[in-house]
Amino acid sequence: MEKLGIKIMRSPANSKYVKRLNRMRIINIIKENELISRQQLAEVTGLTPPAITGIIRELIDTGFVKEVGLGESQGGRRPVTLQFNCLAGYVIGIEITSQEITIALADLKNVPIDIQRIKVDMKNPDVAVQELINTIKKVILHEDHQSKRFLGIGIAFPGMLNTHEGTVKRAVNLGKKWNGFPLKTVLTQEFNIPVFIETNSKVAALGEKWFGGGTNCENLIYINMGEGISAGIIMGESIVQGSQGYAGQIGHTVMIEQGALCNCGNRGCLETICGIPAILRKVTAELPFLANEDALQQRFAIHNEIQINDILEVALQEDSYARDVLRQTSRYVGLAISHMINLYNPDAVFIGGKMSIVAEIFIEEFRNVIATHTFSEVGDATPILISKLGIDSGVIGACALALKKLLKSPNSNIFEDGVDNVEQK
C-alpha cells in the first residue's frame, strides 16, 4: 500500500472537500483490501487516529463498512478489522443501441446479478425513453430487488454527448431527433438518484480495464464492433475525451474517398464498410449471385431475410461466403487499429461489441494488417484480444461508470445519505 500525503487546506469549504477526499480515499483502501484495521488505515493514509475513527463511524452508520472480527495483535490488544460491505448499495447499468436496451444490476464490487435484453426501437427519443423508464422500473420494483438501495444509474450511449449536462449532441445511428435530448435530466427527475452517461465504447473500455481483461493494463484501447465502430481509449486512469468529448470516433475516419454515404453526412467512413448495416447491405446485394447450396442462401430461402446473426453464425464455418465477407471488411478495421496503435502505443487492444462473437476471424485479419502498417517493435508487442466481457462489456461498463463516479469522486455524496434501505449482510 502506498503512503499518501495529506493536503492542508484551511477554509471551511476546503475542509469539507478535504473531509470528502479523505473519506473517499479510506473507503477505496478498505475496498481494495480484504480486511484492514483502523490503525493500519492511519498508517497508510497519515491521518490521525481520531480522524480515522470519525470517518469509520460514518461509514459504519451508513452501512458501507462493517466490523468483522479481530486481527493480529501488534503487541497490544487485537485490533478490530474492517471490511467493505459490497451489498450496501447497487447500481443500474444500461446500454442503449438502436434496436435494444440491455439493463443490469450490480453490487458495489460490480458483480452483475440480472442482465436483461429488451428489444426497443430507439429512433424516437420521446417514445424510446418512456420505454427505458418503464424497463428500469420493472427491474427495480421486482420483488427480488425491492429491498435494495439503488445509488446511481450508468448509461452507455451510442453517440456523442455533453457528459457534464448529460445531453445528446449527436447520435448518427439513432437519428437527428436525439440531438440535444436531455437524457440525464429526464432520468434524474424520474428516479431521483445520480445518473451518469458516457459514449458506449468509452464505457466498455472502462469496464474492460476495471473488470475485464485489462486489469493489468495501464493504457488500453477498446474497439466496439456493432451497428457502428468506435473506440474507447484509456490512458492511465483517464478515458481520453478530447476537447469536445468526441475522441475515439474511428468509425468516421475516411477509408474510401467518395465512398458510400455515411449517416454522419460524409462519404467512405469506416462504418459504411464494416458497421452491421453496411455488412447487411453488402450481403443482401450479393445474395442473388450466391450458389443455392450456400448456407446464407439457404437461410434466406427459409426466412426471406438475412439478419446479422445469420452472417455471424455461418461465418463460423470455414470457407463460407459469410466468413469471406467479414474478412474483407475487417481489413479496414485492421487499418484503423494500426493507426490507433501508431498514435497511442497501448498495452493491448480489446475487440468487443455485438460482432465480437466472431472476433477470432477478425483478429486474424487485424494481425496481418497491423504487421504491415505499424513499426514491428510496437505492432508485434501489442496484443489484440477478445473482450473478456464479450457482448456484456457495454452494460458492465455502464455499471463501472456509475461505480467510478460514486466511489471514486470526492463530489459523490452517497456516504452522507441516511441509512434507510441499506441492505446489511
> How many residues sit in the footprint of Zn ion (CB under 5 A)?
5
Residue 197 or 262 with smaller CB distance to Zn ion = 262
Our finding on whether 274 is near Zn ion (CB under 5 A) is no
Phi, psi torsion values for 275, nearest 5 degrees? -70, 160
Residue 377 CB partners (closer than 8 Å, separation 6+): none
The contact mask relative to Zn ion for 196-235 (x = CB under 5 A, - = no) is ----------------------------------------
- The conformation of residue 79, written as its DSSP 8-state character, comes to P
For 97-163, the three-class secondary structure string (H helix, E strand, C coil) is: CCCEEEEEEEECCCCECCCEEEECCCCCHHHHHHHHHHHHHHHHCCCCCCCCCEEEEEEEECCEEEC
Q: With respect to Zn ion, which residue has the nearer C-beta, 215 or 244?
A: 244
Considering only the stretches 138-146, 219-227, 262-270, 344-352, report the one whose residues sit in contact with Zn ion under the rule CB under 5 A.
Answer: 262-270
Cα 159 to Cα 67: distance, rounded to the nearest angstrom: 44
Helix ranges restricted to H, 98-253: 125-140, 183-191, 200-211
* Least spacing, CB of residue 361 vs Zn ion, in Å: 24
Question: Least Å distance between CB 282 and Zn ion?
Answer: 17
Stretch that binds Zn ion, among 8-16, 159-167, 263-271, 383-391 (CB under 5 A): 263-271
Strands of the sheet with 80-84, listed across from one edge:
36-37, 80-84, 65-70
What does residue 290 show for φ and ψ, rounded to 5 degrees?
-85, 155
CB of 271 to Zn ion, least distance (A): 6
The DSSP H or E segment spanning 254 is none
Residues 6+ apart with CB under 8 A from 164: none
Residues in the chain: 425
Please identify, among the stretches 119-127, 240-248, 264-272, 282-290, the one whose residues bind Zn ion according to the rule CB under 5 A: 264-272
What's the min distance (Å) between Cβ of 159 and Zn ion? 12
Find the binder of Zn ion among 115, 264, 280, 357 (CB under 5 A).
264
> Are 9 and 15 spatial neighbours (Cβ–Cβ below 8 Å)?
yes
Decide whether 262 or 333 has the Cβ nearer to Zn ion.
262
Closest approach, Cβ 254 to Zn ion, in A, equals: 8
Interacting residue with Zn ion among 269, 283, 325, 402 (CB under 5 A): 269
SS3 275: coil
Residue 208 to residues 41, 155, 222, 408, Cα–Cα distance (Å): 29, 16, 8, 17
Q: Can you tell me the distance from the alpha carbon of 105 to that of 406, in angstroms, rounded to the nearest whole number? A: 15
30 binds Zn ion (CB under 5 A): no
By C-beta, is 118 or 255 nearer to Zn ion? 255
Of the listed pieces 32-40, 107-115, 269-277, 290-298, which binds Zn ion according to CB under 5 A?
269-277
Residue 37 bridge partners (DSSP): 81
Minimum CB distance to Zn ion smaller for 18 or for 264: 264
323 in contact with Zn ion (CB under 5 A): no
3-state percent breakdown (helix, strand, coil) of the chain, nearest 5 = 45, 20, 35
Nearer to Zn ion, 269 or 401 (CB): 269
User: Which is closer to Zn ion, CB of 51 or CB of 161?
Assistant: 161
Pick 4 or 256: Cβ nearer Zn ion: 256
**Does 275 participate in binding Zn ion (rule CB under 5 A)?**
no
Contact 73, 81 (CB under 8 A): no
For Zn ion, the closer CB: 262 or 340: 262
Is residue 25 a contact residue for Zn ion (CB under 5 A)? Answer: no
- Find the binding residues for Zn ion in span 235-254 (CB under 5 A): 252
Q: Are 170 and 240 in contact (CB under 8 A)?
A: no
Q: Is residue 262 at the binding interface for Zn ion, with CB under 5 A as the rule?
A: yes
Where does 362-420 show beta strands of DSSP type E? 384-386
Question: In whole angstroms, how close is the CB of 163 to Zn ion at the nearest point?
Answer: 21
- Report which DSSP code applies to 33: S
Cell of 53: 475513527
Write out the binding residues for Zn ion, residues 120-139 only, by CB under 5 A: none
Judged by the rule CB under 5 A, the positions of this chain that interact with Zn ion are 252, 262, 264, 266, 269
